[in-house]
Structure 1
């Protein structure tokens, strides 16, 4: 190993200055002073002596009775008030700390004369308990009276709703009748059945009697008669086994027939070759024909 590697590195020494570390100590002193002022506030002071608290025994007992009676009714209100008070205290403490930090400007503590430290600790100021005011008692009493009125109103509404609701009808209890009661009921039922059966028999008899009276007689097939019937919206009169009256059996004139919409009979065309009923007409000769042979004959005659 070389000599340079064996020797430790040379440590540089700072020059002597009278103001070295002064600013750091001043800042530490400022922070300590701010902390001491913060922790010496009245809100953090311990309660050693309770002086100035004067209240009569009657007022204390009355306050205790009010608190005991209102513990259920005003529990939610008291919790809300305590929560608001805590939030206000926190807000005030925060504002005080911010204002003190703004006021605390850097000052040279060396120029200030140092205060001699006293061996005796500073006496702590006792915090007096708040005196109960009669107005708060009156407000609590009024609040309790208002709550009583509200509860009474609610109970009255409940009573009214209960009165309006229809009462449930009690279920009828079925009692098994005795043997004698069942026999009496059977007699009544038998009498009722007899009467209803007699009515049904009378109705059937009336229907049969009416059918016998209105029954049609047997018709003689050789007996002269006139038959009326209608079908497909047309009415017909038929004279059976008798001559048609002259008033009816007359030929109508053409003028009278013209009043009626009677379709005319179409004349049946006949084949010019065979004499059979014609189904077709030759467009060249304008003659009717019945079949292919007749058609060929018509064309052959046309050529001749």
Structure 2
């Protein structure tokens, strides 16, 4: 029984020791952890200020000084393992002594938040009092330029209005239906004349035959043209010799034959007698000389044959 009580007492001591181990300050979280707060503030400041490049040199110097002061003030906690048994022994020894005064809690001042962090949280903050001189100058120049452009545009607009007012206005009158039809008639006449002229020009172009021929080598060129009441014929020999026959004299015309009976110009030739004759009566007389007697019908047929076959007087 004593052994069980002793073992139970040992178990209680171990539980107390574990409780003391996990309740010591090593595992406690400090609500005002300066290191953690500074790290968050610096990260937020860096991430926000990377998008804005308007911070001045004086602001960066102030930030550097604040960071240096905060680093000097804050001290990192050292992780030290404490034996719970030794702590229990010290507590038993100190229980007999007078209770010690409570340990004063160290107060850590919070680092003032930067403007970048305030902007990230959406909280309002007072604007900086200083501004770059170059930014001010650029703003002034831009404002002056804008004013000058506005004045020039206003002056140009006024000039246009004056010129528009000085020009005489043109009155536009809407044509009636009769006037439109009358104008259409004139337009039709003009269009027809234009069409006829165009067709005539096309016909003239169609008549003109463009011949691109290269006349090379010996050739004879013959030209016939009219000069007054006469006609002039010209023969030109190009790059060739003139033939000898060109200089010959034409033979005389043959003497025209006369009718053997009447003495008139013979128009026909009788193959039976070999004599030319002028008319039917002369033919009958020629056939009568030969002693051939024939009926009237035979004479008519013979005359018809003679008329159908005229004599060759050449």
TM-score by length of structure 2 reads 0.29
TM-score by length of structure 1 reads 0.29
Q: Which structure has more RCO (C-alpha within 8 Å, separation ≥ 6)?
A: 1
